[in-house]
Amino acid sequence: MKFKFDSKLTRTILIVICIILSLIMYSQRRTRNHFKQAAKLPFYNIQVEDVLDGTYRGKVYTSFMHVQLDVTVLDHKLTRIDIIENEGAYGKKVAPILDEMIAQNTSVVPAIKKEELASIVFVACVDDALRKGVPGYTPDDE
């Protein structure tokens, strides 16, 4: 049995394969660039014990996410974290990380599986808020 290839069908299949491969490569490059950008976010490693009582707003804007959080500290404990803004390609399922931060009383918690990028941004945002409550902080520090 011989197979007869239609050149028009073969060409169409090759074009579809090329388009699919291009989309896969674009997606991988974009994700890699997002991880590089997230890795460059500032992390201040603020200890909650050093933060004065109050509510502080943290902001982190990247090319793929815009996040603003209000972080409340009372008696050197994280008591509340409110999402003010959560826009972008990621971060729709990352809210449980905030509960974990409150439970462990720290901004440094494990990332949520399949939401690693958003987890990094949320950690950086809480860290940004907490540093504003450290005695001696001035907006010039930004």
Q: Are 101 and 107 in contact (CB under 8 A)?
A: yes
Q: How far apart are CA 41 and CA 4, in angstroms?
A: 57
pLDDT of residue 35: 84
The predicted-structure confidence for 23-45, as pLDDT tens digits, reads as follows: 999 988 988 888 888 888 888 88
Q: For a pLDDT cut of 70, what percent of the chain falls above it?
A: 93
The predicted-structure confidence for 121-131, as pLDDT tens digits, reads as follows: 999 999 999 99
pLDDT (average), residues 36-59: 91
> Please, what is the angle between helix 96-104 and helix 116-131, to 10°?
50
Average per-residue pLDDT for the chain: 89
Q: How far apart are CA 117 and CA 48, in angstroms?
A: 23
